[in-house]
Amino acid sequence: MFTKVLLALDGSPEATAAIPYARAVLEPGGSLDIVHVRELIVGRGGRQTLHPDEGAVEDTVQRAVAELTAEGVHATLHLTTSAGATAAHAIADAARRLESDVIVMGTRGQSQVVGLLLGSVTQRLLHIAPCPVFAVPPGAVIAPLNADKAVARA
């Protein structure tokens, strides 16, 4: 389907659940670019990561890349830092720079009110991405049809 797939990972279970979908849409011999955005909060105390456990998050993302590589997937990790701009903008910029065919990402499935108050990376990305966005909802399961094809089940 696609030769250049960008997979956005933030270390969450929802993001990790998108990995099989990224593999399913990746053409044999294609490349999987994995992007993790370190979000910074800039304030009086200087620059702090949005997630206090950023080191553990990055370890989780690096393990996923290592597993994909060990399985024969041409996977490359791209760590980027965003101060002020949203993660969605950083992902869109990476997709543009890497000339990605599609962005694959998991969604958290927040309520409309929480999404409105906190914002949604997926929602924003749908409006600014330079290519299609494949959003994997929480609880989606991918099951093989045969050795060559896969189908999503909700």
Question: 26 pairs with which residues across the strands?
Answer: 2
Counting residues of the chain whose pLDDT is more than 70, the rounded percentage is 74
The reported pLDDT for the residue numbered 44 is 56
Report which DSSP code applies to 107: -
Q: How far apart are CA 22 and CA 108, in angstroms?
A: 17
The answer to whether 82 touches 37, Cβ cutoff 8 Å, is: yes
Whole-angstrom CA distances from 103 to 2, 25, 37, 48, 55 are 10, 10, 14, 27, 24
Please provide the size of the chain in residues.
Answer: 154
- Please report the pLDDT score of residue 117 as a whole number: 40
Tokens representing 68?
A: 């994909």
Task: Supply the angle between the helices 121-128 and 87-98 in degrees, to the nearest 10.
Answer: 40
- pLDDT of the residue at 86: 82
Check whether 136 has a pLDDT greater than 70.
yes
Assign domain 2-139 to a CATH class. alpha beta
The pLDDT tens digits of the residues spanning 33-83 come to 999 988 776 555 545 555 557 678 889 999 999 999 999 999 999 998 877
- In angstroms, the CA 131 to CA 103 distance is 7
Q: What is the DSSP letter of 91?
A: H
Instruction: Note the pTM of the prediction, 2 decimals.
Output: 0.81
